[in-house]
Chains A and B, each alone.
Chain A
Amino acid sequence: MTKSSRTILIVVAFLFICGFLLPPGNPSGTAFPSKDFLHMKGTVVTHIVENSTDTLSENRILELQDDDGMTLWFGRYFYKDICVTGICRMVKLWIFWDCAGNYLGIQLDEKDPLTKSDHTPFEPEDYIRLDQILADTLSILKSLRYEDLVTDEITQPELDDNRNLMALFEVDGYSSATSPTLKEYVVKDAVYTCYTLWHTVYGETRAHIDDILESRIDAAYVKQLLMKESENHKIFALDIIRRENSFLSECDFMVLPLVGSLDRNISEKALLAITPQYLSSPEKQLQFVNLMDHALPEIKYEIIYKMQLVDKVSTAAVALLLDKFMSGKISSGGLNQIFKIISKQELLNKGIVNNREIESRLTQLSNHPDAYTANLTRNFMKSIR
């Protein structure tokens, strides 16, 4: 359950946060590691996390919004006890999520850095590694229990002996000896820190953020997301459309051009949002096929694969695909894929290869000067007839 209240003032978020949220003893608020979320400009909206299971941490999630009311980030300040065998140490830090609820980064006071086994602070490369671990939604840490983190080599008598316990503490901070199989998945000598933070990133706060975002979703919101320059907003919008395809008809004029984006992340997501059902309209098929003129090479073929899934492909779209091949927009490696579309259509609609538009193109291709194209076409025509 989350309650929200909007801070009307458009201020430097940092001032607000420092003044109202940073606990005593953390006056500087200096950004650390290098990402500085707290100095970004925008409007801060506060969401209260009711019945939080994390009683130590702030029960507020802050959201920084831009001038259009779109999320720049969500952030929450945490106090986390990192414990092993009853000995705990507290870490204090901000964790941030992006407009879609994905992990974005952490920030902490440079006077209070994360530390490792020997109490030495994290090095810059440790923060980079930690960032990667926290961004990995499928991390091995997801399925592990706290007790899985210790190797079998540590026996109970050792743990009962305080001296030994302290020795272990020194070996690997709070983690005892890091399990050999875990080493490659965590920051060296900081396995419990990684574990605790990963489960914090993907814990109750993330669920609250998802609820907040879910309650906002409608066509207008999706359009607004698509209008944003940032990749994150666009990808979030495309993910929503993929889940709820009814939005596509209202936003297709914004989604289709994204198939031609040179950012592969975006173009792939845009392709996923376009369903074979959407492409049942002959006009849309033409529009869709034409997108390959400016698309990345691999996306051109994804367009063809998508067309293979369409139940009924118009003759005009098939002709257009063949034209794309003949004009060099699709290389020799893609002709057999176009033929697969024709084969499927021929099965459903006997006679497509006899359509004058298609037949003339196939005849032209069967006399193509390059033997591969000519043979492939001739054999294709033979097989289909």
Chain B
Amino acid sequence: MRKFVAIALVLLIVQWVAAKNSPSLFIEAESFQNKGGWVVDQQFMDLMGSPYLMAHGLGTPVADATTTVDLPKTGRYTLFVRTYNWTSPWTEKEGPGKFQVSIDGKILNNKVLGATGNRWEWQEVGKIDIGTRRVTVGLHDLTGFNGRCDAIYFTMDDEDFPPDELDALTAFRREKLGLPETVPSAGNFDLVVVGGGVAGTTAALTAARLGLKVALIQDRPVLGGNNSSEVRVHLGGRINLDPYPKLGDVVNEIAPLRGGNAQPGDYYEDEKKLEMVNAEENISLFLNYRAFSVEKEGNAIKTVVARHIETAEELSFSAPLFADCTGDGTVGYLAGADFAMGRESKADFNEPTAPEQPDKMTMGASVQWYSKEGEKHCDFPEFEYGIEFNDSNVQNVTMGEWTWETGMNYDQIFEFERIRDYGMLVVYSNWSYLKNRSSFREAYRNRYLEWVAYIAGKRESRRLIGDVILKEQDITDFVIYPDASAPTSWTIDLHYPDPENSEHFPEAEFKSIAVHKAIHPYPIPYRCLYSRNVDNLFMAGRNISVTHVALGTVRVMRTTGMMGEVVGMAASVARKNDTTPRGVYLNHLESLKRLMTKGAGKYNIENLQNYNLGGTLGPKKTNIQIPPYDKE
């Protein structure tokens, strides 16, 4: 028996060595030289291992993506493609995201990919004889309905199967891509800001203007996050309020002049945000890089490592201070920062609005969209993958903005691909019904989908815990802390599944309602803006230290932008005094207050931020001052 096991082991090793050494080529789809009409989607790379290419054609097949590669040798290869049927959570039938692979323009084996599989997996295309080493590999979309391709693998060994399990796949990728063991350094900085949404952008601008050397890392090609042309949520809340009326000047400089959700891309003025950042010599901007790991020394982060979402190039960023502006609290999570997710119970903080029992429910993510009236009749394919529409449950609308919200009862991090996909699925299914089967389809005869987001606008996930956790009564009772900083002015605006939609689509609702509680503008304590257990980590954006209920007000983007300004200022104080974010509170609060009083605006721009300020303000209760923090 022992002998048999030994022989089997030897055979396995020989096979592995042979496979390891057999001619093969691994191609990341996102690194294709010509992406045609395919888009790079990096949103779920922490879940499934990599960014991928997606055929986001709104029902019209997109142009081929192509790349030219050199195979190790000519001969017979087996070809694998990593993909799956993205509608599989809702239907057992073949999925709509169908595509094919071509070599030098010739479709391989007529094999259709993307129609099967209920999770990311390697699908075999078949065997092919290749006569020249240099070939052009192509992805040929068949439907325009979000077929997706992570990677392609050529191998000459019949026993060489690429791994599916995530850790093994990660090791496989690294080896095949030849990524170095030691990650090259992007440089040393005073502050590394991870996340280039509104909060991250203002944090970087402010810190840079105050003299810090800043790295700004953003995992998309544009800045602005939910306010970029990729998501198209307009800014909300008020700026330039007491007690620091200059807070908001930086927000004003990068802010679009026009409001409106789900409007044409121009409205969101991506170029303004980008050039404001480029104008600061102290900022090194790393677009298209996503942070995926951290190294710590004691309780502090030493470096953050980020990967390019197209080339897979990795860079490490070192600094004494970091700011987590990722929205998901990714850096804090990787560094072991304390965090909360879901709803606290009433018993936890005694909040009137909190539920009796804690749960995992969060606000959802929006896939926004709009249509346009064309000059002639246009078709839209039949699209029905598990969600059925009829005249009574269809949304008879020509656009969908924030109310198209999904995933409140799913994990906004670990199930986010499903959440985003459901958002797209209902848009297409609803539109298909309106165009093809509704009794009022004549009204939609010439209408076509102009834009559907594929970057989902997320409202809530992890909230990193700071020295203070802001709660509902702090805001409604106007409890002013000595470290009062950026003001929040939006209502406590919490979203729930739309009851009518739930009736039509139980457990699968995709519309939301908002429940508002008006507040008086309230300055958020600075101690909500740094981690309580990762010594050198700031936070700004929706991942700050608040309860679920308090998140309802602080989460709008003019407010998160002002948090970014405060973090930039606090970072400059910390750097100047060689201290931590907490040290700023304990020993240098007056310096921070001076900076907040002065503001960090640079250009004389009129405040035209007069759209979407929020509804009626609530009453200002008696100002309850908290006694100065006892340093002991």
Q: Which residues of A are in contact with B by a Cβ distance under 8 Å? A: 297-298, 301, 305, 331-334, 336-337, 340, 370-372, 374-376, 379
B608 touches A301 (CB 8 A): yes
The 6 closest A-B pairs by CB, nearest first: A371-B279, A372-B279, A376-B275, A297-B606, A332-B603, A333-B605
Majority-rule SS of B interface residues: loop
- A333 and B608 in contact, given A301-B257, A340-B266, A372-B603 (Cβ under 8 angstroms): yes
Rounded to whole angstroms, the CA-CA distance of A336 and B257 in the bound complex is 11
Q: Kindly report which residue of chain B lies nearest to residue A337, judged by CB atoms.
A: B257
Q: Kindly report which residue of chain B lies nearest to residue A334, judged by CB atoms.
A: B257
The reply on B253 being an interface residue by CB < 8 A is yes
Rounded to whole angstroms, the CA-CA distance of A226 and B334 in the bound complex is 66
Rounded to whole angstroms, the CA-CA distance of A332 and B269 in the bound complex is 13
By a CB distance below 8 angstroms, the chain B residues around A372 are: 275-276, 279, 603
Q: Mark B245-257, 1 if CB is under 8 A from A, else 0.
A: 0000000110001
Q: Kindly report which residue of chain B lies nearest to residue A340, judged by CB atoms.
A: B266
B257 touches A333 (CB 8 A): yes
Rounded to whole angstroms, the CA-CA distance of A332 and B606 in the bound complex is 9
The smallest C-beta distance from A292 to any residue of chain B, in angstroms, reads 12
Majority-rule SS of A interface residues: helix
Q: Kindly report which residue of chain A lies nearest to residue B278, judged by CB atoms.
A: A375
The reply on B441 being an interface residue by CB < 8 A is no
By a CB distance below 8 angstroms, the chain A residues around B275 are: 336, 372, 375-376, 379
- A331 and B271 in contact, given A298-B610, A337-B257 (Cβ under 8 angstroms): no
The reply on B76 being an interface residue by CB < 8 A is no
Rounded to whole angstroms, the CA-CA distance of A337 and B279 in the bound complex is 18
By a CB distance below 8 angstroms, the chain A residues around B266 are: 340
A298 touches B608 (CB 8 A): yes
The smallest C-beta distance from A286 to any residue of chain B, in angstroms, reads 23
Rounded to whole angstroms, the CA-CA distance of A332 and B272 in the bound complex is 10
B269 touches A331 (CB 8 A): no
A-B contacts, 25 listed (Cβ < 8 Å): A297-B606, A298-B608, A301-B257, A305-B258, A331-B603, A331-B605, A331-B606, A332-B604, A332-B605, A333-B252, A333-B257, A333-B605, A334-B257, A336-B272, A370-B279, A371-B278, A371-B281, A372-B276, A375-B278, A376-B271, A376-B272, A376-B275, A379-B271, A379-B275, A379-B278
The smallest C-beta distance from B70 to any residue of chain A, in angstroms, reads 32
Q: Kindly report which residue of chain A lies nearest to residue B269, judged by CB atoms.
A: A336
B:257-279 near A, CB below 8 Å: 257-258, 266, 269, 271-272, 275-276, 278-279
B:547-595 near A, CB below 8 Å: none
Q: Kindly report which residue of chain A lies nearest to residue B255, judged by CB atoms.
A: A333
Rounded to whole angstroms, the CA-CA distance of A379 and B270 in the bound complex is 13
Rounded to whole angstroms, the CA-CA distance of A256 and B416 in the bound complex is 52
The smallest C-beta distance from A290 to any residue of chain B, in angstroms, reads 19
B253 touches A332 (CB 8 A): yes
Q: Kindly report which residue of chain A lies nearest to residue B257, judged by CB atoms.
A: A301
Q: Indicate which residue in B253, B269, B279 contacts A375 across the interface (CB closer than 8 Å).
A: B279
Q: Kindly report which residue of chain B lies nearest to residue A328, judged by CB atoms.
A: B604
**Which residue among B258, B275, B608, B610 has the maximum number of chain A CB atoms within 10 Å of its CB?**
B275
Q: Kindly report which residue of chain A lies nearest to residue B280, judged by CB atoms.
A: A371
Q: Kindly report which residue of chain B lies nearest to residue A331, judged by CB atoms.
A: B605
A336 touches B271 (CB 8 A): yes
The smallest C-beta distance from A141 to any residue of chain B, in angstroms, reads 21
The smallest C-beta distance from A324 to any residue of chain B, in angstroms, reads 14
By a CB distance below 8 angstroms, the chain A residues around B604 are: 331-332
Rounded to whole angstroms, the CA-CA distance of A305 and B264 in the bound complex is 13
By a CB distance below 8 angstroms, the chain B residues around A331 are: 603-606
By a CB distance below 8 angstroms, the chain A residues around B603 are: 331-333, 370, 372
The smallest C-beta distance from A128 to any residue of chain B, in angstroms, reads 16
Rounded to whole angstroms, the CA-CA distance of A305 and B257 in the bound complex is 11
The smallest C-beta distance from A60 to any residue of chain B, in angstroms, reads 41
The smallest C-beta distance from B496 to any residue of chain A, in angstroms, reads 16
Rounded to whole angstroms, the CA-CA distance of A370 and B610 in the bound complex is 26
B278 touches A333 (CB 8 A): no
The smallest C-beta distance from B567 to any residue of chain A, in angstroms, reads 22
Rounded to whole angstroms, the CA-CA distance of A333 and B601 in the bound complex is 13
Rounded to whole angstroms, the CA-CA distance of A337 and B271 in the bound complex is 10
Q: Kindly report which residue of chain B lies nearest to residue A379, judged by CB atoms.
A: B275
Rounded to whole angstroms, the CA-CA distance of A305 and B259 in the bound complex is 13
B281 touches A297 (CB 8 A): no
The smallest C-beta distance from B516 to any residue of chain A, in angstroms, reads 12
By a CB distance below 8 angstroms, the chain A residues around B272 are: 333, 336, 376
